């Protein structure tokens, strides 16, 4: 990938990544607040301002490195985790599961919204909107759909501290839930090993295909 291609891909991917991670983290905090935990609200995380959610490595450095190393085929990022205090919930285990589910759910909603804009608003205006406006908009929307779908699918991998692991921890019987909690300190290492070995694709790709099939309904 040459320099101009890298710049072009950054221009297309950067807004999509920011949208995906901001709505993902905002949703965690919003669900927590609705369930009785105001921690995220008190720390100023219930906002669409990207500066409140950006993690220097996960939001900027890692996506940029992935962009270069994979020639734009795999771009991924993350934001600062939203603080949640489960002891503010009436049912801490269920509350954490619902908070965890909020992130991927928000990404799917964003993907659906962008699909509707693309299919029902922009495409019918093809030839009417000038190409120098139409083409970049389509590329950014398609990138936003793809990144939100991939982020949702990846976060649903059932290994804590990913959202899928937290959902599973909250829904399993207590003895199995405690086992998941014991795994969590090693969860990040497990996820890295899954990525390095390519095993994440066994879970993520089928889920991505399923989510895209859902988008075809809109």
Mind listing the pLDDT tens digit for each residue in 151-205? 999 999 999 989 999 999 999 998 888 888 898 889 889 988 988 888 888 999 9
Q: What angle do CA 60, 83, 17 make, to 5 degrees?
A: 25
- Separation CA 75–CA 13 (nearest Å): 8
- Separation CA 64–CA 122 (nearest Å): 29
pTM (predicted TM-score): 0.90
Q: Say if residue 95 is exposed, middle or buried (CB neighbours under 10 Å; 0-12, 13-18, 19+).
A: buried
Which pLDDT does position 1 carry in this prediction? 58
25 tagged catalytic: yes
Structural domains in the chain (count): 1
Mind listing the pLDDT tens digit for each residue in 135-158? 999 999 999 999 999 999 999 999
Active-site residue, from 25, 43, 178, 184: 25
Contact 60, 67 (CB under 8 A): no
Provide the residue range defining the domain that includes 198.
Answer: 3-215
Closest listed residue to residue 52, CA positions, set 12, 25, 89, 88: 25
């Amino acid at each position: 990938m040459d320099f101009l291609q890298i710049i072009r891909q950054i221009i297309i991917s950067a807004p999509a990544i920011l949208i995906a991670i901001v709505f993902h983290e905002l949703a965690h905090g919003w669900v927590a607040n609705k369930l009785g935990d105001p921690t995220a609200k008190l720390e100023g995380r219930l906002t669409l301002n990207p500066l409140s959610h950006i993690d220097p490595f996960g939001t900027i450095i890692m996506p940029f490195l992935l962009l270069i190393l994979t020639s734009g085929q795999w771009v991924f990022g993350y934001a600062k985790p939203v603080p949640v205090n489960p002891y503010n919930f009436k049912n801490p285990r269920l509350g954490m599961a619902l908070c965890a589910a909020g992130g991927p759910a928000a990404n799917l909603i964003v993907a659906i919204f962008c699909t509707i804009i693309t299919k029902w608003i922009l495409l019918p205006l093809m030839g009417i909107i000038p190409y120098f406006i139409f083409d970049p908009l389509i590329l950014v929307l398609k990138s936003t759909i793809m990144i939100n779908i991939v982020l949702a699918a990846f976060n649903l991998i059932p290994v804590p501290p990913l959202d899928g692991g937290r959902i599973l921890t909250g829904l399993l019987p207590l003895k199995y839930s405690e086992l998941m909690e014991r795994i969590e300190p090693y969860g990040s290492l497990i996820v890295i090993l899954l990525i390095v070995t390519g095993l994440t694709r066994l879970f993520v790709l089928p889920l991505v295909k399923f989510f895209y099939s859902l988008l075809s309904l809109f």
